[in-house]
């Protein structure tokens, strides 16, 4: 790959500008969260920052991922009003008790859970800058569990990048 050639839409750093004297590392932390009441919302910002510290990564990426088709990850201002508003929005978009082809086929009653999870997505990537996730002051990372049965939800916090 050539860098910085005339006609490029934006300049790129020279090869090796990132991690030239460092060591790439990958670090995994898992969390277990309770869930199953319909829409459980967990603030995992503190655990995510701790996972980044534990990794030793100074610059790189944090990925928060929830395996499973009824869970999701996003960010929000974690305060009661915004959380209530989000639940109202999800109730409008994919109401519980509506008729879903998934429920007709599988009889598990969580068609709305799958749709809510699909809308919000299972993962979030946050840049790691100077050893911390680059989040706004009022921006918290939340894991949502939409399933309607009690279960323990596993969350993966994976940090990749250059250790100091
Ligand atoms: Zn299902």
Question: pLDDT of 48-60, one tens digit each?
Answer: 999 999 999 999 9
pTM of the model: 0.85
Give yes or no for a contact between 1 and 127, defined as CB atoms under 8 angstroms apart. no
pLDDT at 1: 43
- How many A from CA of 159 to the centre of ligand 1? 30
pLDDT higher than threshold 60 for residue 119: yes
Q: Give the pLDDT confidence of 101-113 residue by residue, as tens digits.
A: 999 999 999 999 9
- How many A from CA of 38 to the centre of ligand 1? 13
- How many A from CA of 94 to the centre of ligand 1? 14
Q: How far is CA 85 from the centre of its chain?
A: 20
**Domains identified in the chain and CATH numbers:** 23-163 (2.60.120.460)
pLDDT higher than threshold 70 for residue 19: no
Collapsed DSSP state (helix, strand, coil) of residue 51: helix
- How many A from CA of 103 to the centre of ligand 1? 7
């Amino acid at each position: 790959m050539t860098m910085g050639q005339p006609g490029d839409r934006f300049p790129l750093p020279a090869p090796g500008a990132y991690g030239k004297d460092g060591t790439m590392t990958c670090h995994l932390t898992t969390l277990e969260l309770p869930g199953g009441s319909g829409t459980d919302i967990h603030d995992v910002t503190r655990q995510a920052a701790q996972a980044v510290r534990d990794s030793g990564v100074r610059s790189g990426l944090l990925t928060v991922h929830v395996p499973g088709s009824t869970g999701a990850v996003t960010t929000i201002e974690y305060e009661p009003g915004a959380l209530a508003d989000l639940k109202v929005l999800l109730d409008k978009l994919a109401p519980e008790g509506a008729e879903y082809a998934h429920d007709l086929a599988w009889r598990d009653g969580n068609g709305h859970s799958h749709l809510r999870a699909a809308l919000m997505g299972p993962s979030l990537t946050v840049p790691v800058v100077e050893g911390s996730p680059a989040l706004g002051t009022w921006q918290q990372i939340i894991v949502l569990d939409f399933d309607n049965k009690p279960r323990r939800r596993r969350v993966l916090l994976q940090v990749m990048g250059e250790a100091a």
